[in-house]
Amino acid sequence: MSSHDESRFGADVYGARLERAAELTRAARLDALLITPGPDLQYLIGSRAQSHERLTCLVVPASGETPSVVIPKLELAALGPSAVAELGLRIVDWVDGVDPHALVKSILNAGARTAVDDNMPALHVLPITDRLGTLPVSATPVLRELRMLKDPSEIDALRRAGAAIDRVHARMGEFLRAGRTEAEVAADITAAIIAEGHTRAAFVIVGSGPHGADPHHEVSDRVIEDGDVVVVDIGGPVEPGYFSDSTRTYVLGEPSEEIAEQFAVLERAQAAAVAAVRPGVTAESVDAAARDLLAAAELAEYFVHRTGHGIGLSVHEEPYIVAGNDLVLEEGMAFSIEPGIYFAGEWGARIEDIVVVTADGCESVNKRPHGLTRL
């Protein structure tokens, strides 16, 4: 028996996923899935291989036959020896000078109907399309059900990620002070994200004062001032690759009465959306729960993005918690609830937790207090 490897689930997990993926491919009336390095490949075989101009591609036949991996000889180690050995994948290796896209065709038949992962670069999609003579479709709708419904070991990973990022927020007083730049604060947060158990920091947003009004501001050399409201949105992956993503809003000193009042509405909106989550309701109804509450306080126009996004091996994945998405929520789905209010040129605020749908509601993997935290 090999020793416990926390970077992967057991071979049985990936074997079952590959079988289910083949079934779903068959149900979608396709002949094969073609998956290049990225979250879908990590989901199906646990491999962290990186995407390159040289083609690495998992071919999952709908027939249920053994999946193949077309791979440059020099990338075999990066694929993960355990992935290959444990799963009994058929290796079709190639060296420079060989046409790897033709190798994909040799595994399938001309005219095969395929689905490709959304991260496959055009430099592979186009030649594969040419060799097969058929236009692939997206694998995301095929794998949607599989990727969206987290099993207990995935939920456990999301809980560990949530606890790790909570520990970073708990230490914010060490990092965030007037007189420091956003970049200095972010460098300390980055180190803390790793120290608290992530393999890396995937994103660190420190939006102080007017920068808080830009939802995707990252960091700058702006010096944080007394009285600033500061949006801190941070996350990264924990083994085996599941992401944390949590936002809290801080204030240096005392907030004005207006800021405190508007923030209190945001806090209620975030809680209302969390309270709306349970199996059987639509994604858009959860978005509406937050939006309606802000609208009642005439703040809806300052909430300029969707309420949330799914999370797992990708930071942003299905289900999206957004107007127009009538997807019905099911137990095991995991996503963010992150309403925000943004006053251009002035200040902004956001509160973000990751929740997992349970039998009768949801569990938040983030446990830090939601209020405007005074530092």
Binding site for Zn ion (CB under 5 A): 233, 245, 247, 336, 352
Q: C-beta of 199: minimal distance to Zn ion in Å?
A: 18
**Which residue, among 150, 68, 145, 138, has the nearest Cα to 108 in the 3D structure?**
68
Nearest CB to Zn ion, comparing residues 21 and 192? 192
Longest CA span, the chain: 69
Separation between Cα atoms, residue 333 and residue 308, nearest integer Å = 12
What's the one-letter identity of residue 153?
A: S
In the complex with Zn ion, the residue whose CB is nearer, 203 or 343, is 203
Q: Provide the minimum distance between the beta carbon of 193 and Zn ion in the complex, in angstroms, as a whole number.
A: 13
Both tokens assigned to 99: 């046409």
Rounded CA separation 349/247 (Å): 9
Query: Hey, CA dihedral for 2, 4, 189, 265, is it positive or negative?
Result: positive
Enumerate the H helices of 4-94 as residue ranges.
11-27, 39-45, 76-79, 81-87
Spatial separation of the C-alpha atoms in residues 342 and 213, rounded to whole Å: 4
CB of 336 to Zn ion, least distance (A): 4
Q: How far is the CB of 142 from Zn ion (least distance, A)?
A: 25
User: Which of 107/231 has CB closer to Zn ion?
Assistant: 231
Q: With respect to Zn ion, which residue has the nearer C-beta, 80 or 340? A: 340
Considering beta carbons, is residue 68 or 249 the nearer one to Zn ion? 249
Query: What CA–CA distance (Å, rounded) separates 15 from 85?
Result: 12
CA 312 to the chain's CA centroid: 5
- Of the pair 114, 249, the CB lying nearest Zn ion is at 249
